[in-house]
Amino acid sequence: MLIASVVSYLVSELHRLPGSLVYGLVALLVFGEAALFIGFVLPGETAVLVAGVVASQGRVNIVLLCALVVVAAVIGDTVGFEIGKRYGDRLLALSILKRRRAALDRALLGLERRGATYVFMGRFTAFLRAVMPGLAGASGMRYRRFFLANASGALVWGVSFTLLGYFAGSALAKVEKYASWGATTLLVVIIAVVVTLHFRRRAREARDEQVWLESTTSDDSAPHEE
């Protein structure tokens, strides 16, 4: 229900804005997801999906939007990395992160074991996308290594989710001819379903990741026979 409300609000607001402000708002949300930790409140994927729908209606250019999303993601994560590098201990002491200490410890373990691969994978999980840059900086990972993995993930994530919203919006254009009175409602429902299914899949992947990490830790801590 919360996701549907957020999507409904974003669809309503972005449709009212001129194209230049749509670009600016989406860039700010994607940038702030890791740099300002707003990903805990509003995952950037939601804004990217809705912006893709707006692009399908000719309000903004889809190519420019894809490029903007990728660049904002890379720059935002770079800021998050530098914050983690300079203020790692203070960062982990923030109240918003204290409540997620167990999840952070698992993320740090995954980062230690899988390095750049974990940075790339973290781009596709809402929680990790918000904290991974800061954790990578705090862990002492070299920026070049982080940048390559992060930029690759941002490229795949940014383009795929922008196009997902774009093609969903294009399909709805045909429906709008026959049911214009219900087009907005249908738009909200379809995108809400897509986003909900996505987050459910990510939650399942996060659980699987936790089980894997716990089993690996258990194997490492178990006594070995001579």
In this structure, is residue 128 part of a structural domain? yes
- Report yes or no: 19 and 207 within 8 Å, Cβ to Cβ: no
- Report yes or no: 117 and 132 within 8 Å, Cβ to Cβ: no
Distance between CA atoms of 82 and 78, rounded to whole angstroms? Answer: 6
Q: pLDDT for 14-27, tens place per residue?
A: 667 777 888 988 89
In this structure, is residue 143 part of a structural domain? yes
Q: pLDDT for 37-49, tens place per residue?
A: 666 666 677 788 8
Distance between CA atoms of 85 and 200, rounded to whole angstroms? Answer: 32
Q: How many CA atoms lie within 13 A of 150 on its CB side?
A: 30
Burial letters 1-28, b for 16+ CB under 10 A, else e: eebeebbbebbeebeeeeeeebbebbbb
Give the chain's domain count.
1
Distance between CA atoms of 11 and 122, rounded to whole angstroms? Answer: 27
Q: pLDDT for 75-109, tens place per residue?
A: 999 998 998 888 877 776 666 666 666 777 787 78
Distance between CA atoms of 9 and 42, rounded to whole angstroms? Answer: 12
In this structure, is residue 39 part of a structural domain? yes
Torsion of CA 114, 117, 118, 124, to 10 degrees: -160
In this structure, is residue 175 part of a structural domain? yes
In this structure, is residue 226 part of a structural domain? no
Look at 61 and 220; give whichever has higher pLDDT.
61
Which of the 8 DSSP states describes residue 225? P
* Residue 61 reports pLDDT greater than 90: yes
Q: pLDDT for 121-174, tens place per residue?
A: 888 887 788 888 888 888 888 999 999 999 999 999 999 989 988 887 776 555
pTM of the predicted protein model: 0.69
Q: Which residues contact 207 (CB under 8 A, 6 or more apart)?
A: none
In this structure, is residue 102 part of a structural domain? yes
Domain span at 24: 2-221
In this structure, is residue 14 part of a structural domain? yes
202 to 99, 104, 129, 199, 208: CA distances (angstroms): 20, 16, 12, 5, 10
In this structure, is residue 141 part of a structural domain? yes
The residue among 158, 28, 150 whose CA lies nearest residue 82 is: 150
